[in-house]
Structure 1
Amino acid sequence: MQTYLVGGAIRDALLGRPGGDRDWLVVGSTPEEMAGLRYIPVGRDFPVFLHPKTHEEYALARTERKSAPGYRGFVVHASPDVTLEQDLARRDLTINAIALAAGQADVAHLADLRIEALVDPFNGQRDLHDKVLRHVTDAFREDPVRIIRVARFAARFSDFTIAPETMALMCEMVSAGEVDALVPERVWQELARGLMESTPSRMFEVLRECGALAVLLPEVDRLWGVPQPVAHHPEVDTGVHLMMVLDMSARLEAPLAVRFACLTHDLGKGTTAVDVLPRHIGHEQRSAKLLRAVCDRWRVPVELRELADVVAREHGNIHRSGELNAASVVRLLERCDAFRKPGRFDQVLLACECDARGRLGLEERPYSPRDRLNHALAVALGVATDVVAREAQAAGATGPKIGEAIARARIAAVGEALASVE
């Protein structure tokens, strides 16, 4: 029984980046031996165990053989005779197919990593040096999730290129229909992780180049070639603008919910008729409808789809909120459910800021609607609604009339506050 540290921990140590979870590979063992050593079995599709003390993952060396289309169409062979090199050969990229014997891996944070101790049969260190994302072997084609993973790594390592032969293989897999068979959970997991990378635009650019974006997110793919409104720099089309918005969301360190809202807020522009292109009239409601289809397809969590729906429907009104009077501002806050969910509303405003600043020449411009609407919300929330309700009841109001009285009080307070700062 031999144990090796494999994958991302070694890659990140060689790049001088902070390491995350450590994954271990066990060669020459069996599930029975692992259980006897009190490792905890957790793998459903192949033998993976948790260390009894550290709870780090330990997987038995294995090979995989394609048996059907999609992510789950595999026959897994895990036995003591599977070698380290055979296991590394089934991995996705050469930079993730480097191993280090356990006796050499106990140094703190791998800071004292000795290059000569590495097991690197597929020249991953060379590709790290050359900044290339390259598949290990033709076994890459057996798992279509790897197409999205390569795109995600391109978003993380934005100065890396994709080897031509790897891109060609990805294109072949898409043409063969492999992406069509992916399960929603895995697709969403990879997309979500890619959205949180430092340059999320690269993930979508890579997916578009190999043809996978048209399969996974045709609503997004259709945005390229659609001109932006004249007032928003017509030399940039909507797909390019979207990529700038996503990268702005990363620059502003937005959470996943905001980044997903940035991805989907303009989907309706991809279906805009030619005769209304100059203003993309009505695209907000079309965006909200297409958003629902995306969320159903990839089983996006409810809290993310709710935030994205508000942004899709209201981002145009939020951008123009400086032109609204107090009554219109309060109605906008009500439509955004800001009184019940002020924290979520701030995320809505952050997504709108990313949209506004994700344009050529506007990257550094302050987004005034965010401060104005947050101020209006704070003032409206400061209205003593219980007092207003009691006074309305005393005057004979019931039901909706009480709500109208509260709205009037909020409008009056917001109007006074906005007048004092303008």
Structure 2
Amino acid sequence: MQIYKVGGVVRDRLLGLADADVDRVVVGATVEQMLALGYRPVGADFPVFLHPQTGDEYALARTERKSGRGYGGFTFHASPEVTLEEDLIRRDLTINAMAEDDDGRITDPFNGQQDLKDRILRHISPAFAEDPLRVLRVARFAARFAGLGFTVAPETLELMRQLSESGELQALTPERSWREIARALMADHPQVFIQVLRDCGALKELLPELDALFGVPQPVAHHPEVDTGAHTLAVLAQAAQHGQPLTVRWACLLHDLGKGLTPQTEWPRHIAHEQRGLKLIGAVNQRFKVPRDCQELALLVGEYHTHGHRALELKASTLLELLQSFDVYRRPERFEAFIAACEMDARGRLGLEERLYPQADYLRGAAQAARSVAVPPLVQQGLTGQALGEAIKRERLKALQAYKAAQAE
């Protein structure tokens, strides 16, 4: 029985990166041997065990064969006869198909070390095209390692294009797709993930609403980059550069979907794109079963981001409606995420990346003014129910009017 570290932990060590999660493969062992040594089985589809002391995962070397559609359409075979190379060849990329023994010796049957040096993401074998999830995985790795200069090999991109055209992407479960999307959005260069998906034709299969934005012009006075798709990628890049959380990055990705529905006769203006986009944002949220916090913020940012940009011009009554929509009294963090998304949107324009965004502090001040209204005195006046609600609203409106007046001085 031989045990090897495999995959990401080997790759990242050779790149000088922080250790990834450690995956281990066991060659030459049976299920019975693992059980006799005290390992606890956890794998439902293939033999994976937890170490009796450390709790680390150990998987028996296995081969796989395509038996159906989608990510789960495989039959696995594990036995002591399966070699390390046979286990490694079923992996996706050469840089993920290296193994390391306890003495630090590297087994690299597919030249992964050379591709690391050349900064190439290259598939191992034609079997790559059997698993549609690999399209998303490769795009995610491209986003993760873009800062190191990695690019996708042309022949791998071609296989990804064939997979995209085959209809196999439709067999992916929402949960699997979202997991890859979420991880990619949290990479240092998430815009590269979207660009690679578009380059191989996967974006129009998975996110046609987003793909439709490329080639749609915007007014050059407000958007020097003109193209709405390019703007969206730039907004996403800003969100990553400023360390925004997943909720904000997801909202940034979807905020302008309504512009894809603007009739060409109205280009480059996009009047009411905020409202038009809500149905599309909702559809995307449902398609990938997006977590609720991401869903909510994406819809709110889609509807109100232009309010954010025009904050200093808004009437006190409109400001109050905006604050009410976000429930800033009980969920202040959601309004803060909205402000962040608006600022990323403003910065995601060619040549305007460093422009100040005074709307951010103005909106924070407005929220604080509305929150400063004391409710107990109104209750002490005997107000209840609808009358109390209306009184609170009147006092908050007064507070916002005073805030606006003070800002104007």
- Please indicate, yes or no, whether the TM-score normalized by the shorter chain is above 0.5: yes
Alpha-carbon distance in structure 1 between the residues aligned to 2:156 and 2:308: 43
Alignment of 1:288-299 (within 5 A): 288-299=278-289
1:212-227 correspondence runs (5 A)? 212-227=202-217
- Is 1:86 matched with 2:86? yes
Q: Give the 3-state SS of the residue equivalent to 1:25 in structure 2.
A: strand
| Runs of 4+ that moved beyond 4 A | none
Output the CA distance in 2 between the equivalents of 1:191 and 1:271: 24
How far apart, in 2, do the equivalents of 1:77 and 1:215 lie? 32
- Of 134, 139, 144, the residue aligned with 1:151 is 139
Aligned-pair CA distance for 1:386:
2.1
Tell me how far 1:36 sits from its aligned partner. Answer: 2.1
Instruction: Give me the whole-angstrom Cα distance separating, in 1, the residues matched to 2:90 and 2:340.
Output: 42
Equivalent in the alignment of 1:28: 28
Which residue pairs with 2:109 in the alignment? 121
1:178 paired to 2:168 = yes
Measured in 2, the distance between the counterparts of 1:233 and 1:421 equals 28
Identify which range, 47-56 or 304-313, moves more after superposition.
47-56
Q: Which residue of 2 aligns with 1:368?
A: 358
CA distance in 1, matches of 2:103, 2:150: 28
Q: Is the 1:258–1:348 contact (alpha carbons within 8 Å) kept by the matching residues of 2?
A: yes
Show structure 2 runs of 5+ residues with no match: none
For the residues of structure 2 that align with 1:128 and 1:265, how far apart are their CA atoms? 36
Task: Please state how far the C-alpha of 1:231 moved relative to its aligned partner.
Answer: 3.0
Query: Counterpart amino acid of 2:58?
Result: Y
CA distance in 1 between counterparts of 2:368 and 2:48 reads: 51
Q: Which amino acid aligns with 1:187?
A: S
Partners of 1:47 and 1:81 in 2: CA distance: 15
Match of 1:19 in 2: 19
Q: Which deviations, in whole Å up to 9, do the C-alpha atoms of 1:224-246 show, x marking residues without a partner?
A: 00002343235420000000000
Distance 2:257 2:44 in 1: 37
Could you tell me which residue of structure 2 aligns to residue 327 of structure 1?
317
Letter in 1 for 2:114: R
Q: Contact 1:389–1:405 (CA<8 Å) still a contact in 2?
A: no
**8 Å contact 2:375–2:392 — kept in the other structure?**
yes
How high is the sequence identity, in percent, across the aligned residues?
55
Provide the C-alpha distance between the structure 1 equivalents of 2:224 and 2:302, rounded to a whole number of angstroms: 21
CA displacement, residues 6-64 of structure 1 (integer Å, 9 cap, x when unaligned): 11111111111111211111111122222222222222221112222222221111111
Alpha carbons 2:224, 2:350 under 8 Å: kept: no
Q: For 1:31 and 1:213, how far apart are their aligned partners in 2?
A: 42
Structure 1: how far apart are the matches of 2:303 and 2:85?
53
Does residue 258 (structure 1) correspond to residue 225 (structure 2)? The answer is no
Q: Distance in 2 between matches of 1:416 and 1:53?
A: 65
Q: Equivalents in 1 of 2:221, 2:384: separation in Å?
A: 47
Q: Does 1:401 align with 2:387?
A: yes
Question: 2:213, 2:268 → 1: CA distance?
Answer: 15
Q: Where does structure 1 lack aligned partners over 5 or more consecutive residues?
A: 106-116
Deviation sequence 1:270-295 (CA, Å, 0-9, x none): 11112333331111122111111111
Cα 1:36–1:418 shift into 2, 3 Å: farther
Given the two structures, how large is their TM-score scaled by the length of structure 1? 0.93
Distance 2:391 2:219 in 1: 40
How many corresponding residue pairs? 406
Shift of 1:346: 0.3
Match in the other structure for 2:44: 44
**What residue in structure 2 maps to residue 378 of structure 1?**
368
Aligned counterpart, 1:354: 344
Q: Which amino acid aligns with 2:129?
A: R
Residue aligning to 2:195: 205
Partner letter of residue 267 of structure 1? L
Query: CA–CA distance in 2 between the matches of 1:78 and 1:229?
Result: 59
Distance in 2 between the 1:251 and 1:234 partners? 20
Tell me what 1:53 maps to.
Answer: 53
Equivalent-residue separation in structure 2 for 1:229 and 1:52 (angstroms): 63
Partner of 2:276: 286
Report how far residue 398 of structure 1 moved: 4.7
3-state SS of paired residue (1:227) = coil
